[in-house]
Structure 1
């Protein structure tokens, strides 16, 4: 038997803290892999990478705080004005079905708003930063690099490029989320949905843990199908067959590793930073 639940709101504080914590763990792992890879390829460059690693981690913290807070706030704001995300939860705490159109619509609107904010920041702040970098490169004799940076900046500042970025972010997010939820619902109907450990916490519901195996299966299948579609598009457009095969293998690896690490990181941080809290109501 399944109960239909409405995701009415997200606790912004717990969502921001958990999202930032997971982002930091991924950035630390990435930094370690980068350090090892550079050490193997060019040991003399390890010192340079050691200076870059703190920048990667601090940048991840800043971006994660902003993005997670904005996502949580925008979701709570949007659900008061449009249909929220709903899902079916069976007795085994397995999500068997997720609403398709509402999920895709909310995800695409949130992404588009974030892109608009990013474009606004780019228009007002980026020219100052880019101008300073270009002048520094010119004074240091890096004329070619300075000119290349100037050309890239000129392109991304074009109104047509900004407009296409905003429109494209909405369309791509909507289509991909719609496909992903449809694939998920097929998996859920076969008993392969994500299994969650939930508990009531006053008016909110706490997400105690995520079953790693179920999350790996879902993310691997979705990632694999998306990359197969991209591989087909690559082949049709005249791309290399090895590149297309690499995309498929990469999608498989990303799903397995990414899904496993995401569940492991969440379950670990839930005991250290506190659990994610959401407001669920019966439909």
Structure 2
């Protein structure tokens, strides 16, 4: 029998520490892979030996700095994201999970899509405000310098009918771009976020679960508060990989149509196959690593705690 549970809230500290720790480990692995790749390039390509020696000498710094930077960046991102979730869940409804034992048999589409799209919209608004604040001084400086530059060009070329944007036009362009970033970017984030998350839930419910279901092992803490003690690796990796492989299929079909329209059918077929295989491998490995690290870290730094009701 399927028991639908809603994630009412997520405890901030355990989730933030777990997320930032996992990303720090992934960053450490990425740093090592980068160093190995550059070392191989330096060994095989004599012209790249100088560049390779520089990378190698900076290797210790890369291995240390990259994970530390990832830890603190995701510490902030995870903290604010869960803060948003806990604030929005009582108003919009939290993510719901259809559980049968420890298996996630279905993910109700609307609740899943709505709150995730709302969080993505708020993040898009914040990013848009920062970008607008960064570009506004640039457009202001350009608008004030346009008359001087245009006059200098006219004097140098003896041109009288040159079409050069006025300072007011440049300033207006800056204001328009700022409005797009602050208003348009969040709107697009909500639309595409809702559609993308809805498709992911639909693909999971009707396709992925036919092959593999995500399993979540909980322990009761107190009342409705649960410890997510572990996530079996293979079922989660396979289910997530199948969902995103379908996205890869859709992207590959778009590439196939585009390249075929330009007469490159073979390239389109290759792009389709590469997209399908690449998405499956990438998301299977990525999910497997995350679940492995979660299972290893949970007993040591504390499991994620969810209020399920």
- Same fold flag (TM > 0.5): yes
Bigger Rg, which one:
2
* 1:159 partnered with 2:169: no
- What CA distance in whole angstroms lies between the structure 2 residues aligned with 1:161 and 1:62? 30
Unaligned runs of 5+ in 1: 130-153
Query: Greater helix share, 1 or 2?
Result: 2
The 5 A counterparts of 1:1-283 are: 1-42=1-42, 43-44=52-53, 45-91=55-101, 93-124=102-133, 158-159=177-178, 162=181, 163-187=183-207, 190=210, 192-203=212-223, 204-238=225-259, 240-241=267-268, 242-281=270-309
- What CA distance in whole angstroms lies between the structure 2 residues aligned with 1:90 and 1:221? 20
- What CA distance in whole angstroms lies between the structure 1 residues aligned with 2:215 and 2:133? 45
- What CA distance in whole angstroms lies between the structure 2 residues aligned with 1:34 and 1:161? 37
Task: Say what the alpha-carbon RMSD is for the aligned residues.
Answer: 2.4
Q: Would you say how many aligned residue pairs link Structure 1 and Structure 2?
A: 255
Kept in 2, the 8 Å contact 1:104–1:174? The answer is yes
Would the alpha carbon gap of residues 160 and 126 (structure 1) be closer, same or farther in structure 2, given more than 3 Å must change? Answer: closer
- Residues 90-122 of structure 1 show CA distances to partners (whole Å, capped at 9, x for unaligned) of 12x111111101111111110110121122233
Would the alpha carbon gap of residues 238 and 168 (structure 1) be closer, same or farther in structure 2, given more than 3 Å must change? Answer: farther
1:52 Cα deviation after fit: 3.8
Kept in 2, the 8 Å contact 1:96–1:188? The answer is no
Would the alpha carbon gap of residues 128 and 65 (structure 1) be closer, same or farther in structure 2, given more than 3 Å must change? Answer: farther
Highest relative contact order (Cα 8 Å, sep 6+), 1 or 2? Answer: 1
Counterpart secondary structure, 1:272: helix
Kept in 2, the 8 Å contact 1:230–1:247? The answer is yes
Unaligned runs of 5+ in 2: 43-51, 139-172, 261-266
Kept in 1, the 8 Å contact 2:92–2:114? The answer is no
Q: TM-score, normalised by structure 2?
A: 0.76
Would the alpha carbon gap of residues 184 and 12 (structure 1) be closer, same or farther in structure 2, given more than 3 Å must change? Answer: same
Would the alpha carbon gap of residues 167 and 52 (structure 1) be closer, same or farther in structure 2, given more than 3 Å must change? Answer: farther
Kept in 1, the 8 Å contact 2:14–2:304? The answer is yes
Kept in 2, the 8 Å contact 1:35–1:50? The answer is no
Counterpart secondary structure, 1:59: helix
1:276 Cα deviation after fit: 0.3
Kept in 1, the 8 Å contact 2:10–2:305? The answer is yes
Would the alpha carbon gap of residues 168 and 59 (structure 1) be closer, same or farther in structure 2, given more than 3 Å must change? Answer: farther
Would the alpha carbon gap of residues 90 and 188 (structure 1) be closer, same or farther in structure 2, given more than 3 Å must change? Answer: farther
1:7 Cα deviation after fit: 0.9
Q: TM-score, normalised by structure 1?
A: 0.82
